Structure 1
Amino acid sequence: MSSMEYGNLAYLGLLGAVLVFWVFVQNRESLGKKLQQMAAWGLIFLGTVAAIGLWDDIRQTVRPQQSVFAEEGKIELPRAPDGHYYVTLDINGAPTFFVVDTGATGMVLTEEDAEKAGLRTRDLSYLSEAMTANGLVRTASVTLDRVSIGPFTDRDVRAFVNSGEMQQSLLGMSYLQRFDRLEISGGKLVLER
């Protein structure tokens, strides 16, 4: 810490001490009750400071983030609390959130994600069909100009846009097979090229 930060800390400490002294002088009759209230506020303050200090660890536990190791050609996706693996890909310049679905044949975009990626869904021809857990849905075949994750960029990637209701886009085997190695171990999905 710099000398200015030490000065600010000393000033705040002195100000706090004066305020505490004033509270005690003003409320001499109910000193026990005031001590209880001050202890409660002190615990609230310490809890807030601890939560702020540990926020990155808490966020990583609640919603784990993907890790990219560009020099090793590796991407690690931690298992989320719901047991799934999630990944964010850059589709034509738009960050798009996917659930990894090894049971899906292709990459399937929601209409909303397709629009964000620059595709005009109202102009698409939904000529094909796909069987999903929710039944039969109509899909439109599209070609994505650019799909990127970390150091890896693929061009002219075939995907489908789902006309039905989907909570999020699915990353299926047609894209996952572009990686040399796909391994699930220790609560992580590892993708390597």
Structure 2
Amino acid sequence: MNDAKPRIGRLMWLAAWLSLLAVLVLGFDAWLEGQHNPNAELMVVDADGPVEVVLQRSRSGHYIAPGRINGEPVQFLVDTGATRISVPLSLAQRLGLKQGYASQATTANGLVTVYDTQLDEVRLGSIVLRNVAGNINPGMPGEVVLLGMSFMKDLEMVQRGDTLTLRLH
């Protein structure tokens, strides 16, 4: 019977260490996600002033933010070098986007074939635009949407330090 007490004590210490390790891993994972996407919880501000969104730059130097295309949640990467909003094929299929005419686009990876599409509604925070031109890009991996100039052209952009303010004209 006396052997049971030390064994239970060791199990309690092991459980305590495993719990501490789990808390540290979860905390570190949350910290890493915050470094990758500081705009994960994009706030929508309802005010009498201009409609605007303020984005924080990620650790990698990009502006990444959640948004919606045709009411469905997506992850945007602001890309002022992209002429249109560019949607990966797998995501376009999930969103039910119609694939239009094929054309060639020059990307950082060279010349690619993309397909025209029309996005009924694109939402970034409190900024909502309708009937926005986009491309479906079959060669684009992942599910991140490049938020190109077909959306950005209607916005005033001000970059200061690590923030990008987008304001609807």
TM-score in same-fold range (> 0.5): yes
Aligned counterpart, 2:85: 107
Q: Among residues 48, 61, 65, which one is paired with 1:87 in the alignment?
A: 65
1:125-136 to 2 correspondences below 5 Å: 125-126=101-102, 128-136=103-111
State the TM-score, normalized to the length of structure 2: 0.73
State the TM-score, normalized to the length of structure 1: 0.66
Q: Deviations over 1:103-158 (max 9, x none)?
A: 2222111222222332233xx321x2111121111122222111122222211111
Name stretches of at least 5 consecutive residues in structure 2 with no aligned partner.
none
Q: Among residues 56, 71, 87, which one is paired with 1:78 in the alignment?
A: 56
Aligned counterpart, 2:134: 159
Q: 1:192 aligned to 2:163?
A: no
Indicate the structure whose relative CO is greater, using CA pairs within 8 Å and at least 6 residues apart: 2
Aligned counterpart, 1:97: 75
Name stretches of at least 5 consecutive residues in structure 1 with no aligned partner.
1-24
Alpha-carbon separation, structure 2, partners of 1:99 and 1:79: 11
Q: 1:141 aligned to 2:116?
A: yes
User: What is the aligned residue count?
Assistant: 162
After TM superposition, which residue ranges in structure 1, 4 or more long, deviate above 6 angstroms?
Answer: none
Secondary structure of 1:71's aligned partner: coil
Q: 1:150 aligned to 2:150?
A: no
Aligned counterpart, 2:19: 45
- TM-superposed CA distance for 1:74, in Å, is 3.0
Return the structure number with greater strand share: 2
Question: What letter matches 2:161 in structure 1?
Answer: S
Task: Find the structure with the greater CA-based Rg.
Answer: 1
- TM-superposed CA distance for 1:177, in Å, is 2.5
Alpha-carbon separation, structure 2, partners of 1:138 and 1:49: 46
